[in-house]
Structures are given as C-alpha cells and as structure tokens.
Amino acid sequence: MAPPARRESKASAGSVAASAPEQALAKLGLVRDIDLALHLPLRYEDETRVVPIDSLHDGETGQVEGVVTDSRIQFRPRRQLVVKIADDSGDLVMRFLHFYPSQQKTLAVGRRVRARGEARGGFFGLEMIHPAFKVVTPETPLPTALTPVYPSTVQLSQAVLRKAVAAGRARADLDEHLPEGIVPAGLPTLRQALDHLHEPAPGLEAAALEDRSDPAWQRLKFEELLAQQLSQLLAQRERERQRAPSLAAVRGQLRDRLLATLPFKLTRAQQRVAAEIDADLARPVPMHRLLQGDVGSGKTVVAALAAARAIDAGWQCALMAPTEILAEQHLKKLVGWLAPLGVTVAWLTGSRKGKKRDEMLAQVASGEAGLVVGTHAVIEEQVRFARLGLAIIDEQHRFGVAQRLALRAKPPAQDGPAPSPTLPLTGEGGKPASAAGSKLEAHLLMMSATPIPRTLAMTLFADLDVSTIDELPPGRTPVVTKLFADTRRDEVIARIRDEAGRGRQTYWVCPLVDESAALDLKNATATHAELCEALPGRMIGLLHGRMPAAEKAAAMSLFAGGQIAVLVATTVIEVGVDVANASLMVVEHAERFGLSQLHQLRGRVGRGTTASVCVLLYSAPLSDTAKARLKAMLETDDGFEISRRDLAIRGPGEFLGARQSGAALLRFADPVLDEALVVEARRAAERLLGDDPGAAGRHIDRWLGGRAHYLNA
C-alpha cells in the first residue's frame, strides 16, 4: 500500500506537523488512500471574499487584506508577536502568542497579508488573535469556493491535512462497485459525493454543505451503514457455521434442582428469557445473546440457570464481572446456590496470586471446576479451560470489545473436548457436530442493565439476539428520588440517623472521575470523617477503588452483614451490588454522574420490601445537560426510559462509549436520526450478499479495512 501523503507532507516542511505527519495522520485513522478520501470536512470557511478592515465589527469573523506597517515582538504583558496591517479603510493588529522566529520574518514591514479570524475591539483598536494568514501579492487570486476544515489534531495543521486528503483522494479507487439497484434512487455516486464535499463548487453556501440531509451526505451515510450491516451479516453467517456444544441433554437435573432450592419463584419474564436461552444452548451453534433487564430485575439467577445447564451437560461455565466486588458477590451467591448441588466453583481475580491461584488454575484446566467466577483475570493468557461451554459476561457494557472477544475465544486446555462418553456431540440430524479438527466455540451470554434502545440495537448489534426482562420481582416498593442542594446536607445526615435508628443502612456515593485522582479520594475520606463525627456510635465504612482487595471485601461484607450503618463509597459500588437492607442512597455531586450511572446507583436500594429513598445532592450551578439528567431521574425510574433519555442527551457515540462497540466507527450516520437509511442499508446488505458477494467484500474492505471484526463483538 502506498505510504500516505509522504511527498505532500515533506513539501510543507516548516509547518507544525512536518515532524511526523504520517504518525499524526495514522492517529486519525488515516492510513490508506481511501481513508483520506473518506475523511470529510467538519465545516467550511469562506475565504472567497475580502472585506475592508473598518467594516469588521467586534466578534465578527472575516477576511481582510492589508500591508504590514509595523511588526515587533512585545514583552508585556507576555511575549508576543504584534503585527499591524493597514488597508485603505483602516488598520488592524494581529497578535501571536505562540510563533516561530520565521513567522516574524514572513510578516516583515511592507509585506501584503491576507488574514482571517475573529475581530476584537481591543484597547488599541481592532485586533485578531492568531488569525489564519498568508502572504500574498495584489495578483494572488481569491479562492472561488469554500475552504474545507477537516477534523484534526494539534499535531496536524489544516494545510498539511488538506494536501494529504487531496492526494489520497486522487490516488484512491473510488469507482462504483455496487451493482445497480443497491443504492437508493436519487443519490450521487461515491465520487460525485466526495467531490461535492471536499471541493465545493463555487458559490455554494456553507450551510448547504454542512447540512447532512444533502444527497452527497446521504450517499456517504448509506455507504457506511451498508458496510456495517454487511459485516454484521457476515459475522452472523460465520457464527451459524461455527459449532458449539449442544447443551440440551440433562443428566443430573441440575437446573431443575437449582430451581427447586431457590427461595423465590421466577417471574414470568425470567421464565421467558430463561427459555430463550435454553433453546439457544440446545443448538450446536454458538449462542450470541444479550440479556437485558433493569437494575434489580433478577438477571443473576437466569445466568445461574444457564450455568447449571452447561455444567450438567458436562461443560464448564465462566462468569466474568467488571469489578472485584461484584465478582465476589456473584461468587457468594453462586456458591450458595450451586455448591450444595455438588458443583465446584473456582475464583479468579487480579488480587489472588501465588499458590491459591495456581490451585485454581489447575482446577480450571482439569475441568474439576464446573464454574469459574472472576474479573478480567478470567481472560488472562494463563487461564486454560478443560472445556468451556458457556461464557457469561455481566454488566457487559463495562468491558471493551476486545475483552469480550477474548473470553469467547478462550482455547481449551486440551484439543478435542470430551465432556462425557454418554453425551456424544451431535448436531442436528444426528450428524457429528464437530467435524474432525474443527473447534467448538463457547456459547456467549452477555448481561446488561443499560438497555439499548431498539434503533441502536438494530444498527450496532444487528447480529445479537436480545432477551429482555421487562418485569421486576414482586413486592418491591418503588424508590422515591429526591433532589437536594448541597447546602442541605444536614437534613440528609439527620435522615441517615433516622434510618440507622430503624436498623436500616445507607450508601453515600462520592464521585470519582479518575481512579487515581487524589482530590476525589479526599472527597470520600472527608465525607467519611464528617459522617463519623455526625453519627457517633455507628460504624461508618469507607470503600474506594484504591483500597487493597482484602479491605474492600471486608468493608463490603461488614455492610452486607448489617454491621456498617453507612458505607461511604466511590463508584466502585455502581454496578450490581446487592444488599437488601440498604434503604437510603445518597449521591454526592450527583451533577457529575452520567444518567445511566445514577440509575444504576439508585438501583442499589429498593431491593427489599422496605420503602427506599435516593437523595441526589447537587451543587449549583448546573449545566444544561446536568439539569436534563437530574430531571430525568426525578421523572422516571424505568430503565428503558432512562436509557432513551440518556441517548438523547449524549448522542449514540458517547452513550455507548468509545470502547464499547462499533458505534465509534460510525462517523457519518447517526443510528437514531438516520433510522430510515439504516433500514435501507439492512435490506441492501442482504440483497448484495446474495447477489454479489464479491462486491460486498470490496465494499467492506473499502470502508472498514482491517477493523471489520470490531463491529461484531
């Protein structure tokens, strides 16, 4: 492949980016010619006109042209290059707080300069801070068309990027390769669309070019969505070809025995999703299912039933959770349920080292451990399963795509799984499911309390089957949500005292922007001290991410046991923690939390039958989005509605998080706004794969290059 834009960048030596333009380009994902061609302008600048200096008003952006009348380095209030230019109408000062010595030479007295920027009415008259400028002669023509401005980084100047994009575009293969009838009628070709957007025709207005409903944009969005849908369809077909152990046979009735020992009856929704999962597990094709259900809807027991089925059929099950606390809680629950039924459960976390860990690894590798519970440690290199049949990922949105892929691909310790002589691996129709040499994949069950709205699911997880628990276990009293200004802390503390007096427990959550942020930690410890003082005689616990695992576990178990009255914690408790006696959740600086996060936190209370309260403490002033989030919290406690609002507030990219999925790879289309195109792209993808697989492959390659597999995790 041609190295991108090497010649071009050399030609612009002296610019900021000249040191390592390839690297800077690669950082933007611009490696191949086609990547450059598909790098579209964010907006456009109008350099087609020059206005008289005295016609510029304060705050207005415009382009002027004048001759340098003065150029000097000034030292106060700080070092800066100050250049004065004049035209027939007046003069203007350009200020450069950062500049190269060469720039002072370029801007010598007598030079004619074209400058574009925002005018400011300064103390000494009109000025521009860091205008874009170029030295010209009276004959230098003005551009006739708008100038594109590309998404870039500080290392890469627009000039360098523009040249690289133009060169890449000239070299790239942009020929139409989609057969007739695939592209919706009325849209331009890819080449036409790109020409239109990169190199606007003279006279076009920026507003028209930036309007993404323009046919040129529609064509690009369609192409992008088509590539995504194609790659998902291929992944789906690929998976249909893969083999997985069929977990239909029931030897020891483990699943039914587990059901019989549960202290509650499954809700109808739980029964339904459990049946959906069972049907998948019985097939000799890997399951790829997302189990979603609101906080507290009872996903864990559904997972346990699936695990029981896998173990009963002679296979191992791995359950991975995003935090050690959550993993440990699952461990306790699952050991409680399954150990009495004779299942050996292994425990793998980052903090477990040495001999204990080796023992666990041996149990996993020998197959003695039917169930393996843990954190990311489960996907570490050294962990080998004898015969992994089912992988379960809890709170899947907290894991990166690569991690999810890794668990599914966990290789067996030995070749050729042999779960049980009484359980031949038969595929449908009695044929052996695993042809000689072909590897069996594990079934994959992902769980999430952040439901994905349908439109998003369709674009991003078209390839995923979804089961939804849409009902909470009976007897729950809804959590009352209250909003308090931080100035009313005392009232909140009085409320905690009351709760403690009645034997109930409180969570107090402090924000933690970054695990290592000392400031936030101070926040939590200060609150801890404050509560210790305000509530003498009560045990106040502290829990944060930087505590050693053993201390965390101790705090958690004291809280679960009811000894700790108030647990001051950073967001380590955000997901999954389950203590039924906790009835009050206080979130400090609630304005700093995301909406889904707040909902998750609120879900930590109201797990028993006691009426529970969630107090959101905030400090003014609130940003608009913070207001929108808090308002949503007050107005609804339905996880699906929360999720819709969250999506509306944040937009799909952020909603899912950059690492989360292919969302970040959708650059042009918006899965929500462009729903109609999504539907068209889906249909077109199915048709194209059937009619012309070669064209489908070329299309995926053009758009996704080597990134296709990331879309399908």
Among 62, 286, 298, 412, the residue binding ligand ADP under the rule CB under 6 A is 298
**Subset of residues 472 to 531 that bind ligand ADP, contact rule: CB under 6 A:** 473
Part in contact with ligand ADP (CB under 6 A); list of ranges 74-82, 83-91, 297-305, 369-377: 297-305
The answer to whether residue 297 forms part of the interface with ligand ADP (CB under 6 A) is: yes
* Alpha helices by DSSP H, 420-545: 454-460, 489-501, 518-534
- Residue nearest to Mg ion according to CB distances in the complex: 576
Least distance between ligand ADP and beta carbon 21 (Å) = 49
- Using CB under 6 A, which of 147, 232, 270, 375 touches ligand ADP? 270
SS3 26: helix
Residue closer to ligand ADP by CB (options 414, 468) is 468
The b-or-e profile of 644-664 (16+ CB within 10 A means b, else e) is bbbbebbebbebbeeebbbbb
Nearer to ligand ADP, 395 or 463 (CB): 395
Using CB distances below 5 to 8 A depending on partner kind, what does residue 286 bind out of Mg ion, ligand ADP, none? none
User: From the list 576, 603, 652, 671, which residue makes contact with Mg ion (rule: CB under 5 A)?
Assistant: 576
d(CA 667, CA 117): 28
In the bound state with Mg ion, the residue whose beta carbon lies nearer, of 37 and 290, is 290
Residue 541 contacts which entry, ligand ADP, Mg ion, none (Cβ below 5-8 A, type-dependent)? none
User: Which of 362-376 are b and which e, b meaning 16 or more Cβ less than 10 Å from the residue's Cβ?
Assistant: ebbbebebbbbbbbb
Q: Please provide residue 4's backbone torsions phi and psi, each rounded to the nearest 5 degrees.
A: -70, 125
Which among 459, 465, 466 is positioned nearest to 685, based on CA atoms?
459
From candidates 93, 187, 295, 556, binder to ligand ADP by CB under 6 A: 295
How far is residue 635's CA from residue 680's CA, in Å, rounded to a whole number?
A: 35
Q: How far is CA 140 from CA 163, 376, 646, in A?
A: 19, 61, 51
Q: Binders of ligand ADP: how many residues, by CB under 6 A?
A: 17
CA 346 to CA 372: how far, in whole Å? Answer: 5
Residue 247 beta carbon to ligand ADP: minimum distance, rounded to whole angstroms: 21
CA distance 543 to 545: 7
User: What is the DSSP secondary-structure string of 195-240?
Assistant: HHHHSPPTT--HHHHH-TTSHHHHHHHHHHHHHHHHHHHHHHHHHH
Structure tokens at 232: 């998902």
Q: Does 264 bind ligand ADP (CB under 6 A)?
A: yes
The option from ligand ADP, Mg ion, none interacting with 124 (CB < 5 to 8 A, set by class) reads none
Tokens read off for 646 = 């969250």
Nearer Cβ to Mg ion (34/469): 469
The CB-of-628 to Mg ion minimum distance in angstroms stands at 27
Residue 304 Cβ, how far from Mg ion at the closest point, in Å?
11
Within 573-612, which residues bind ligand ADP (CB under 6 A)?
Answer: 576, 578, 607
Spatial CA neighbour of 600 closest among 263, 272, 326, 378: 326
Residue 280: CA atoms inside 13 Å, Cβ hemisphere, count? 25
| 327 forms part of the interface with ligand ADP (CB under 6 A) | no
The rounded distance, in Å, linking the Cα atoms of 549 and 372 is 19
Cβ-based burial of 64 (10 A; exposed 0-12, middle 13-18, buried ≥19): buried
Q: Which stretch binds ligand ADP (CB under 6 A): 239-247, 290-298, 487-495, 678-686?
A: 290-298
- Given the complex with ligand ADP, which of 296 and 412 has the nearer CB atom? 296
Return all residues near 473 (Cβ < 8 A) that are at least 6 apart. Answer: 264, 267, 296, 297, 298
Contact mark string toward ligand ADP, 458..477, x via CB under 6 A: ---------------x----
Preceding amide of 621 cis, omega within 30: yes
The alpha carbon dihedral of 685, 689, 691, 693 has a sign of positive
Sole window of 260-268, 363-371, 409-417, 637-645 interacting with ligand ADP (rule: CB under 6 A): 260-268
Nearer Cβ to ligand ADP (275/676): 275
Site size with Mg ion, rule: CB under 5 A = 1
The piece of 119-127, 473-481, 572-580, 686-694 that touches Mg ion (CB under 5 A) is 572-580
Nearest to 660, CA basis, from 670, 649, 650, 652:
652
66 binds ligand ADP (CB under 6 A): no
Residue of 62, 131, 293, 662 interacting with ligand ADP (CB under 6 A): 293
Query: Would you say 21 or 576 has its CB closer to Mg ion?
Result: 576
| Residue 561 Cβ vs ligand ADP, minimum distance, rounded to whole Å | 15
DSSP secondary structure of 72-97? EEE-SSS-EEEEEEE-SS-EEEEEES
Residue 346 in tokens: 């292994």
For 414-451, give one letter per residue: b (16+ CB within 10 A) or e. eeebebeeebebeeeeeeebbeeeeebbbbbbbbbbbb
Closer residue to ligand ADP, CB minimum distance, 100 or 264:
264
From residue 671, how far is each of 288, 479, 678, 681 by CA, in Å? Answer: 22, 32, 7, 11
Pick one of 24, 290, 449, 678: the residue that binds ligand ADP (CB under 6 A).
449
Q: Does 296 bind ligand ADP (CB under 6 A)?
A: yes
Mask of contacts with Mg ion, 38-77, x by CB under 5 A?
Answer: ----------------------------------------
300 binds ligand ADP (CB under 6 A): yes
Beta-bridge partners for 374: 320, 348
Choices 183-191, 262-270, 459-467, 688-696; region in contact with ligand ADP by CB under 6 A: 262-270
Stretch that binds Mg ion, among 158-166, 374-382, 576-584, 640-648 (CB under 5 A): 576-584
Tokens coding 579: 């203590």
Choices 56-64, 69-77, 265-273, 405-413; region in contact with ligand ADP by CB under 6 A: 265-273
Of 283-291, 368-376, 432-440, 573-581, the window that binds Mg ion (rule: CB under 5 A) is 573-581
- Residue nearest ligand ADP, Cβ-based: 298
Judged by beta carbon distances under 5 to 8 A according to partner kind, the member of Mg ion, ligand ADP, none in contact with residue 267 is: ligand ADP
Of the candidate spans 259-267, 544-552, 574-582, 596-604, the one that interacts with Mg ion by CB under 5 A turns out to be 574-582
> Rounded to an integer, what distance in angstroms lies between the CA atom of residue 113 and that of residue 131?
11
| Subset of 688-707 contacting ligand ADP (CB under 6 A) | none
Residues in the chain: 713
Q: Which residue type occupies 152?
A: S
- Is residue 598 within 8 A of residue 590, CB to CB? The reply is yes
Binding flag, residue 603, Mg ion (CB under 5 A):
no
Q: Which is nearer to ligand ADP, 300 or 375 (CB)?
A: 300
First to last CA, the chain: 28
What is the binding site for ligand ADP (CB under 6 A)? Answer: 264, 266-267, 270, 293, 295-301, 449, 473, 576, 578, 607
What is the binding site for Mg ion (CB under 5 A)? Answer: 576
